[in-house]
Amino acid sequence: MSRALAALRSRGLLAGLTHEHATSVLDAAVAKHQANPSSVKAVGVYCGFDPTASSLHVGNLVTVMALRHFQLAGVKPILLVGGATGMIGDPSMRSDERVMLTADAVAANARHLVDSLKNVLDFDCPKVGAEVANNMTWHGHMSVIDWMRECGAFARVNAMLARDSVKRRLDAESGLSFLEFSYQLFQAFDFVHLRRHHNVLVQVGGSDQWGNIVSGCDLVRKTDGHEVYGVTVPLLTTANGDKFGKSAGNAVWLDAAKTSVYDFYQFFIRTDDADVGTLLKTFTLLDMDEIDTIVATHSAAPEKRHAQQILAEHTTRMIHGEVALKAAQVAAKVLFGGSLDGVDAVDILAIDAPRLQSQHIYIYILPKD
């Protein structure tokens, strides 16, 4: 566990930690499991994803990479799909109420979210393989009375009203519905359930989720008397202060049906020199010495975009796989004046797959004279 937190800290990915003594406690729990894996359940770490869209974007990848660092340190990652909370909506950072999604839409989006992360986390590791949980599994089977006794009895309205996200909405003309006001309790109970049934001791989230994470830690302590911990990662921005993950105002999605592999690859190729070192630390597992060497080589000849090439290769391979990476590289070569030798129609279609899906495309590659 200390290995994971040290990795996050050295890469600039540790924004907050609820308890400074968490490292020693969690190291002991991990060691206990490793000594007796057949009788002691693995320690778990989770991050929640509300499936309000059919894909994550690259900004969401920061928390997923944090989960990967925990997994490498012997902690089991749990991807919590918000099948229930996604139908409510987190009021944080919003000035109005979210559009209500149907249960079918939430379920479909949840499947897409999981598919997009299968290359990032190890789902096949026998001891700490990543798992997927859906909070509809427990919230959907609790009666109103059961839920109120489990959550409502320990919630203090004055503390809930003190949340910045709540106060902003109460001051707005549209106000805040009870549905969204209750979101923080649903999310907090997720931590209770995951600790009871999956031995989850850590929640990871973006720094904007600090309040929700602390609420979960408090509810676990009040209901079960156990100490659990929260870790936040920074919301990634560019050197210019722009929110990372946007390209010309549009999100860069992990799903190739929404952002083509070529556009995904080019997004990282176009990374500013001021940002490339940070992104190598964030989105690759290269060790810090190697990253320093890459950045130094790049600084000596920035026009060659050495660091950007490595960043784009690692991220595209991680999300889309080796075959898709090669197709994107071939497409880039063609578009920027390279030879068409050995290029087939599939490589060319890789350039703009999302916008070509509903069209009939005819491509003729003429032989040389």
More confident residue, 285 or 152: 285
Question: What does the pLDDT look like over 164-203, one tens digit per residue?
Answer: 778 877 877 777 887 778 888 889 999 999 999 999 999 9
Provide the 10 A C-beta neighbour count for residue 364.
5
More confident residue, 149 or 173: 149
Q: How far is C-alpha 257 from the geometric centre of its chain's CA atoms?
A: 19
Give 260-356's CATH code, choosing from 1.10.240.10, 1.10.10.10, 3.40.50.300, 3.30.465.10.
1.10.240.10
Confidence of residue 84 (pLDDT cuts 50, 70, 90): confident
Does 241 have pLDDT greater than 50?
yes
Specify the pLDDT at position 356. Answer: 46
* Whole-number average pLDDT of the chain: 85
What is the per-residue DSSP string for 317-344? HHHH-HHHHHHHHHHHHHHTT---TT--
Specify the pLDDT at position 192. Answer: 97
Rounded Cα–Cα distance for residues 72 and 53 (Å):
29
Does 321 have pLDDT greater than 70?
yes
Confidence of residue 150 (pLDDT cuts 50, 70, 90): confident
Rounded Cα–Cα distance for residues 356 and 268 (Å):
22
Tokens 């649903």 belong to residue: 186
Does 245 have pLDDT greater than 90?
no
Does 267 have pLDDT greater than 90?
yes
Alpha-carbon separation of residue 64 from 51, 126, 217, 318 (angstroms): 15, 20, 20, 12
Beta-carbon contacts of 182 under 8 Å, excluding residues fewer than 6 positions away, are 88
User: Which amino acid appears at position 284 of this protein?
Assistant: T
Q: Express as a percent the part of the chain with pLDDT over 70.
A: 86
Average pLDDT over residues 235-250: 74
Q: Are 126 and 209 in contact (CB under 8 A)?
A: no
Does 354 have pLDDT greater than 70?
no
Does 266 have pLDDT greater than 80?
yes
Specify the pLDDT at position 366. Answer: 47
What is the per-residue DSSP string for 166-203? HHHHHHSTT---HHHHTHHHHHHHHHHHHHHHH-EEEE
Does 225 have pLDDT greater than 90?
yes
Q: Express as a percent the part of the chain with pLDDT over 90.
A: 50
Tokens of 369: 């004279």
Specify the pLDDT at position 272. Answer: 94
| CATH number for region 2-233 | 3.40.50.620
Question: What does the pLDDT look like over 105-114, one tens digit per residue?
Answer: 777 877 887 7
Its pTM stands at 0.85
Q: Where are the domains of the chain?
A: 2-233, 260-356
Average pLDDT over residues 129-136: 92
Specify the pLDDT at position 99. Answer: 59
Average pLDDT over residues 14-19: 94
Confidence of residue 338 (pLDDT cuts 50, 70, 90): low
Does 236 have pLDDT greater than 50?
yes
Does 347 have pLDDT greater than 80?
no
Tell me the β-bridge partners of 231. 17, 204
Q: Which of 81-90, 204-213, 251-260 has the lowest mean pLDDT?
A: 81-90
Specify the pLDDT at position 42. Answer: 94
Average pLDDT over residues 62-74: 96
Average pLDDT over residues 340-345: 54
